[in-house]
A and B are shown apart, each in its own frame.
Chain A
Amino acid sequence: MIGQIIGGSYGEIWIRQKSGERIELGDLLVADDILLQVFDLEYGSLMEKNDIARISGMQLEGYGDTHVHENELRNYILVKAKPLFNLRTRRIPKHLPSFFNILRRASSEDFKFLEKPENAIYLGKIRSGSKILDVPVYINGKDALKHHILIPATTGRGKSNLVKVILWNLIGKSYAGVLVLDAHNEYYSYKKNGKNYGLKYHPDAKNNVIYYSTNPPVGERALRVNIKKVKPWHLREIIEFSPAQEDALYLYYKEYGEYWIKAILASGMNGERNEIKGVKPETLASLQRKLKVALEIDINKNGEVYERGKIFSTREGERTIRDICDFLEDGKIVILDTSSLSQNLELLISEMIMSEIFSRYKSYKEEGKLDYKPVISVVIEEAPRVLGEGKSNIFGTIAREGRKFNIGIIAITQLSSMIPREILANLNTKIILGNEMSSERKAIIGSAAQDLSKDDKMIASLDRGEAIISSIFTKFAIPIQIDSFEELVDRERVDRKRRENLLLFE
């Protein structure tokens, strides 16, 4: 017995907390068969407001020996809770629990109805306030990935830990390939407290986690892309072109095919006669400058294009994009270390890969082969960069139409409000971490799959690793505690050792 219902309405049930108990924001309680979640706490008193102020004055200002008799009876904590789920009918409750109902805390027994779905991804354990119940929470990975996932949170609330946990659980699962643009080079391998962590240390990583870097360690793949693979439409998002310049790009591409960049750069050099009729020299000069800067390339006096940066190459990398797409189609996790690339280059590479994937999957759909292909998802950090208002790129297309082609996005952001509502509403699973910014919470709440209108304070108070899953694939918004990635890896190491020891004995 931790409290009793003393009033309220459907969305706001008032509970008097029993003295000596401590009910927290987010706590899960049970009244009749209805699962309730605490969303607000207030002080309650049977005493008048002025009396309370006077009592405090007397105690603070030393008015002799005073004592609030039966304090626990006259003063209390008023808990406000909302109904989450009917544990008996397993539906959204449509009635109020009985008046004066005595409540209890939810226990792991209450969540037996949560089944492990097909293609399950483990996300964490059910959390009641800050207490963790031994109930694992899964979602159907294939469904959730193709319907897109949004991970909104402010810094330090565990976004990358969550993504690592999700990816760790996807390794070796052939139903999904995931492209990770790793701007901080933190997913594949890193050191913490003298120990190695990262997706590389998953027992099935060898064949299932592919790592590309512009500075690859021995045995890993170099992230080099041949400029021949760059198409005019890939550049639209990272370079601002005038209509005349854009026309020129397409004219060159039409004329020179995959050599279009070289043709533009060489135009007008050493008597080269590869100008195209209708493209003015000043348009061409401007295009040459923009391409050189954006792609970190240049051309020498002999008309040979050479690379100044780390990623685009004139000789290597002809298969890189194709290989990456193949790996993704094989259901692997592909991590691109983009830590030493500019934001624009990172976008360009991802645009190239995802455009290729989109095109392939479109064809598979037309050919009726799509059902045999894994779902492909791309992890995008700072999602408003590519999903923000006025952006027209492959990611916007995926967010709107990707579901039809089994392609999804895992969008990570601190600024959900910068993503248009239409796209936010399409991100059908939201794993909401802590967020202090009220405008951001409003955007998340307004586009959630369940009614989270009362969850504002709860979201603000979510600590590191604490989250709420609101998804069209969950029966209610589930509060969870996400595992620490490092602990997950450590546990795996212990398990592996145990397995090896068992083998020795056999």
Chain B
Amino acid sequence: MFEILSKISIRESPGDYGEPLIKNAQSVPLAMENFHPLNPLENVKIGFVDGGNNILFLSPGQAVHMIRLYYSIFKDSKKMEYGRYTFILDTRIMVEENAFDVRIYDVNSSYIFPERMRIGIEEIDEREKIARIGAYLRRIGEWLLVNRIMDRCDIIVRDGSLQTGEKKEYEYANRVFEHVNASTIIGFSKTCSLLTTGGYSLVAAIHHLSRMHGIKAPWYYHPVAKNISTIRGDMFVVKLHPFSEYAFRVEVYPENKAEKALGSLIPQSNDPTFIGYPYGLIDADVNARITEEEAKIYRNLLYNNADEFSRLQANAMNAHDLISEVR
């Protein structure tokens, strides 16, 4: 095993990275002049939004999901306000209508979602569509929450891309972009799978380039590509702390406010837990998370109240999990 593993080179330092490879966009060759210094900006109200979801009951025709949405607004490292909202979704398939009927129970009476939603099966791109309802509505909920707090923030940072996947999600995202007045929206992706034409990680290539040329963080890299049609705003790569091992892909809308918006993230990005990553997003992640332990408690409650047929329905999909637990 060791022999095989040692043969696989994961220590390659490319001489030529290639160009950014971005769908439906005109890529811009990697160049030194695209690095720009970033200056910290204080006294800015920054909102952070994130969501979490977990599945409590799954059968082919019915699923129960739990969603949690969280936001916080920071000003100069101090949390000014926050909100944490939990929802239970009871989704049932309507076979003839080719849609899902989702009943939404609003645990904290936040009124972010309507009480009921009809989701067309074609709206969800992935397989096992009923299982994906939770993640789909969580993303919609995040947009709704961004919309709700937008007026109270100078900048809103959303965990993940500003790109929208499913069809309906785009509508909710669009509502946000249409109502942006004084604020700026940042999509901050902690992971990025974009490549260069050389087959390398785009973020790693830019980060490596900065190191090769001794460019001291904080910096942002722009432009990565021109006329990107899949996202609103523009795409950047940022490194927010000189001692960080990480650079990140971000999208900013409107793009002309990017330098100030990204500069305002610098004072947020010196927490040693994850240096170079905005603390507000760590906080949002922790508070939005629905852990397996928590989900298990609710699963047990639900199963204890389920009738025999519901349990048999669940068994149609849980054999894999059961086998995974065999030691």
Residues of chain A at the chain B interface (Cβ within 8 Å): 46-47, 51, 54-55, 58-59, 63-70
B259 contacts the other chain (CB 8 A): no
- B165 partner residues in chain A, CB cutoff 8 A: none
A–B complex contacts, Cβ < 8 Å, 21 sampled? A46-B286, A47-B273, A51-B273, A58-B243, A58-B272, A58-B275, A64-B242, A64-B243, A65-B270, A66-B271, A66-B272, A67-B77, A67-B271, A68-B271, A68-B272, A69-B271, A69-B279, A69-B283, A70-B77, A70-B79, A70-B283
- B286 partner residues in chain A, CB cutoff 8 A: 46
> For the complex, what is the distance from the CA of A63 to the CA of B241, rounded to whole Å?
10
Residue of B nearest to A74 (CB): B273
B183 contacts the other chain (CB 8 A): no
* Chain A nearest Cβ from B73, distance in angstroms: 13
> For the complex, what is the distance from the CA of A65 to the CA of B266, rounded to whole Å?
11
CB-CB nearest 8 A-B residue pairs? A55-B272, A69-B279, A69-B271, A66-B272, A63-B243, A67-B270, A58-B272, A66-B270
> For the complex, what is the distance from the CA of A46 to the CA of B272, rounded to whole Å?
13
Flag if A69 contacts B77 (CB, 8 Å).
Answer: yes
Flag if A55 contacts B273 (CB, 8 Å).
Answer: yes
* Chain A nearest Cβ from B87, distance in angstroms: 23
Residue of A nearest to B274 (CB): A51
> For the complex, what is the distance from the CA of A50 to the CA of B241, rounded to whole Å?
20
B86 contacts the other chain (CB 8 A): no
Contact with A along B268-296 (1 / 0, CB 8 A): 10111101000100010010000000000
Flag if B272 contacts A51 (CB, 8 Å).
Answer: yes
- B79 partner residues in chain A, CB cutoff 8 A: 70
> For the complex, what is the distance from the CA of A47 to the CA of B286, rounded to whole Å?
11
Contact with A along B75-103 (1 / 0, CB 8 A): 00101000000000000000000000000
A-B CB contacts (within 8 Å), total count: 38
- A51 partner residues in chain B, CB cutoff 8 A: 272-273
Contact with A along B241-269 (1 / 0, CB 8 A): 11100000000000000000000000010
* Chain B nearest Cβ from A505, distance in angstroms: 63
> For the complex, what is the distance from the CA of A54 to the CA of B245, rounded to whole Å?
14
> For the complex, what is the distance from the CA of A66 to the CA of B79, rounded to whole Å?
18
> For the complex, what is the distance from the CA of A76 to the CA of B212, rounded to whole Å?
42
> For the complex, what is the distance from the CA of A70 to the CA of B77, rounded to whole Å?
8
- B268 partner residues in chain A, CB cutoff 8 A: 69
Residue of B nearest to A56 (CB): B272
> For the complex, what is the distance from the CA of A465 to the CA of B41, rounded to whole Å?
55
- A64 partner residues in chain B, CB cutoff 8 A: 241-243, 270
* Chain B nearest Cβ from A336, distance in angstroms: 68
Flag if B279 contacts A59 (CB, 8 Å).
Answer: no
> For the complex, what is the distance from the CA of A65 to the CA of B242, rounded to whole Å?
9
> For the complex, what is the distance from the CA of A412 to the CA of B110, rounded to whole Å?
67
* Chain A nearest Cβ from B271, distance in angstroms: 5
Interface centre among B270, B272, B275, B283, by most chain A C-beta atoms within 10 angstroms, is B272
Contact with A along B229-248 (1 / 0, CB 8 A): 00000000000011100000
Residue of A nearest to B74 (CB): A69
Flag if B272 contacts A59 (CB, 8 Å).
Answer: yes
Residue of A nearest to B280 (CB): A69
- A59 partner residues in chain B, CB cutoff 8 A: 272
- A70 partner residues in chain B, CB cutoff 8 A: 77, 79, 279, 283
* Chain A nearest Cβ from B140, distance in angstroms: 29
Residue of A nearest to B79 (CB): A70
- B270 partner residues in chain A, CB cutoff 8 A: 64-67
* Chain A nearest Cβ from B77, distance in angstroms: 6
* Chain A nearest Cβ from B289, distance in angstroms: 12
- A66 partner residues in chain B, CB cutoff 8 A: 270-272, 275
Residue of B nearest to A57 (CB): B272
Residue of B nearest to A69 (CB): B279
Task: Known pairs A54-B272, A67-B271; list 16 more (Cβ under 8 Å).
Answer: A51-B272, A51-B273, A55-B273, A58-B243, A63-B243, A63-B272, A63-B275, A64-B242, A64-B243, A64-B270, A65-B270, A67-B270, A69-B268, A69-B279, A70-B279, A70-B283
> For the complex, what is the distance from the CA of A47 to the CA of B283, rounded to whole Å?
12
* Chain A nearest Cβ from B267, distance in angstroms: 8
* Chain B nearest Cβ from A99, distance in angstroms: 14
Residue of A nearest to B217 (CB): A64
Interface residue ranges of B117-133 to A (CB < 8 Å): none
- A68 partner residues in chain B, CB cutoff 8 A: 271-273
- B279 partner residues in chain A, CB cutoff 8 A: 69-70
* Chain B nearest Cβ from A376, distance in angstroms: 65
